């Protein structure tokens, strides 16, 4: 199954969502901008 991103290991859907949220939080901290 390909979702457009090459992953070195299978990632559960909920883990992908958490990772995306974590990435947004990191961007918010770096940029000081709140992302929805």
pLDDT at 35: 63
Report CA-CA distances (Å) from 11 to 25, 26, 36.
20, 20, 23
- What are 7-32's pLDDT values in tens digits? 566 666 777 788 888 888 888 888 88
DSSP-H helix ranges across the chain: 13-31
Categorize the per-residue pLDDT at 6 as very low, low, confident or very high, splitting at 50, 70 and 90: low
> Which pTM was predicted?
0.44
- Whether the pLDDT of residue 1 is over 60: the answer is no
């Amino acid at each position: 199954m390909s979702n457009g991103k090459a992953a070195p290991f299978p990632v559960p859907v909920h883990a992908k969502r958490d990772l995306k949220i974590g990435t947004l939080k990191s961007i918010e901290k770096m940029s000081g901008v709140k992302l929805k």
